[in-house]
Amino acid sequence: MELHTLEGQQIGQYKLLAWLGEGAHVHAYLARNVDSGEYRVIKVLKSNLTGSQETLARFYQEAQAALELDHPNVVKVYGYDRAGDLLYLVEEFYEGGSLMDRLKAHPEPQPLDFIVRTLEDIAAGLDFAHQRGIVHRDLKPENILYDRDGKAALSDLGVTKYADEAEARSREGLAFGNPSYMSPEEWQGKPTDARTDIYALGVILFEMLTGELPFEPSKTNSVMFVHLLHLMATPRSVRELRPDLPPALEAVINKALEKDPAQRYQTAGELAAAFKAALASAQPEQPRAEQALQPAERAQRQSESMPASHRPAVPIALIALFVALLGLLYWWWQSQQGSEESDV
């Protein structure tokens, strides 16, 4: 049975009312408890993650750990169970939808007070999880949910770790997560820790501030291109897109997006505090000598004053050209293969 066809059926005490969508590991449903009438979200793990006894044991272990994550900024997991071949979790229902819902409905820059409140809430949830050894590793706007009062909470903590490790055993060497929010270490298959989530949070902050992504001038379907951007390019300037923001804020975003985890903020709370301090700082008046410079001269001076890690070692245009050349080589190779087969 296809998991998205479970709508209208009952699993345990829960009637599945509507299919909400799917992620990398689960199908999500809005459900109602047939006894209490309370609304919950039921997340059913995809069948490719439930095939072995080892996988089942790991699911129960991680689900139990998720039950113990009791924090106002972490989506509450109420329970987990098995119904036939289906493994599922019961989670708190957030009526306000996700940050992704908001960004799609309002793709322009978000209000600063909304950004600050979201950051404070998510930083508190992340620090709580990180202090307990749990790294999200798939932080993105879809996993930030809001209640009716606007409080933000993290979704998919704990089980994300389980599902990635289960799938990794069958697809060793591949990276997981949404490409636009993945850190360089994830792309390279290196160990991840709390600073991996700091990087993703930096991408999200850039997107909320500007309405755009830091490395991608436009949405692209080329995973290879996005991969190279995160590994080699520097983020676009926040202040080029939002000149009304103080210069200190750009420095905060750049630090969160450092390629080297050691150069990033080490905790989400540290990032949140720096972000708020930067917003509170007054934008200094530009010296007259600087005002008189031509744009090219001003850009050159700014580049020279940047730390080396913030200078654009490889322009995005060159990365795009490199990807295009790879595509042409692949096309040529395919055509050669076809010619050889026809000759035979």
Tokens standing for residue 312:
């654009």
Do 86 and 105 belong together in one domain? no
Q: Examine the domain organization and report whether 246 and 281 are in the same domain.
A: yes
Domain boundary pick from 54, 73, 92: 92
* Closest alpha carbon to 213 in 103, 339, 338: 103
User: How many structural domains does the chain have?
Assistant: 2
Same domain, 26 and 134: no
Task: Tell me the three state secondary structure of residue 321.
Answer: helix
- Whether 329 has a pLDDT exceeding 80, the answer reads no
- Is residue 340 assigned to a domain? no
With 0-12 / 13-18 / 19 or more C-beta atoms within 10 angstroms meaning exposed / middle / buried, residue 205 is buried
For residue 57, the model assigns a pLDDT of 79
Same domain as 216, residue 76 = no
Are residues 44 and 146 both part of a single domain? no
Q: How many of the other CB atoms lie within 10 Å of CB of 333?
A: 10
Concerning whether 138 is annotated as a catalytic residue, the answer is: yes
Per the domain annotation, does 343 fall within a domain? no
In a domain, 292, yes or no: no
Do 236 and 276 fall within a single domain? yes
One domain for residues 110 and 86: no
Look up the CATH number of the domain holding residue 20. 3.30.200.20
Residue 291 lies in a domain: no
End-of-domain residue from the set 47, 76, 92 = 92
Q: Tell me: pLDDT of 101 over 50.
A: yes
Least confident window among 138-142, 241-245, 331-335: 331-335
Last residue of some domain: 39, 65, 92? 92
pLDDT score of 217 = 59
- Whether pLDDT at 78 is above 90: yes
Helix and strand counts by DSSP (H, E) for the chain = 13, 8
Band (pLDDT 50/70/90 cuts) for residue 157 is: confident
Tell whether 336 is covered by a domain: no
Same domain, 155 and 256: yes
| 335 in a structural domain | no
Whether residues 235 and 124 share a domain: the answer is yes
**CATH number of the domain bearing residue 155:** 1.10.510.10
264 phi and psi angles, rounded to 5 deg? -85, 175
pTM > 0.75: yes or no: yes
DSSP alpha helix (H) spans, the chain: 53-67, 99-105, 112-130, 159-170, 184-187, 194-210, 223-232, 238-241, 247-256, 268-280, 288-291, 295-305, 316-343
Give the residue numbers spanning the domain of 11.
3-92
CB of 131 closer than 8 Å to CB of 123: no
Residue 311 has pLDDT above 60, yes or no: no
Residues 154 and 22 in one domain: no
Is 241 found in the same domain as 146?
yes
Whole-number CA gyration radius for the chain: 23
The one catalytic residue among 127, 138, 156, 164:
138
Q: Which of 11-15, 25-29, 74-78, 181-185 has the lowest mean pLDDT?
A: 25-29
Answer yes or no: do 86 and 222 share one domain.
no
Kindly indicate the confidence band of residue 219, based on its pLDDT and cuts at 50, 70 and 90.
Answer: low
